[in-house]
Amino acid sequence: MSNNSNTIAAILAGAAVGAAIGILLAPDKGSNTRAKIKENLGDTANNLKDSLEASSEVLREKFASATESLDGTFDELLSNVSHKTEEVISFLESKLADLKTQNAKYQK
């Protein structure tokens, strides 16, 4: 995502510089040139703001998706651990019962 944002920023910066150079080289009154530069800077700032907002929204969506995925994976992991814990407890209970049976034989 950073590469995409850098590309967008570079394109917008290039467009702003190109527009400014074009305006400066155009034969027009200074006040008109300054007004055009101001207008182009405003447009470029708005375009940059829009691009940043779009990038932020994409990042928010990806983060939300990753968070959901992580929550699901964590819940699945807890469920698996719970099942394994039950299996271990059952195994240990059966071994304990076997040991009690063997111990009872020796106590007679």
Burial class (CB in 10 A: 0-12, 13-18, 19+), 44: middle
State yes or no: pLDDT of 1 exceeds 60. no
Say if residues 36 and 24 touch (Cβ distance below 8 Å): no
- Residue among 43, 46, 62 at smallest CA distance from 2: 62
Give the confidence band of 96 by pLDDT, cuts at 50, 70, 90.
Answer: very high
pTM of the full predicted structure?
0.43
Percent of the chain with pLDDT over 70: 97
Mean pLDDT to the nearest integer, 60-78:
86
Tokens 């969506």 label which residue? 61
Q: How many domains in the chain?
A: 1
The average confidence (pLDDT) of the chain is 83
Domain range for 76 is 2-107
Distance from C-alpha of 11 to C-alpha of 9, rounded to nearest angstrom: 6
Q: Which residue has the higher pLDDT, 80 or 22?
A: 80
Distance from C-alpha of 26 to C-alpha of 29, rounded to nearest angstrom: 9
pLDDT on residue 92: 92
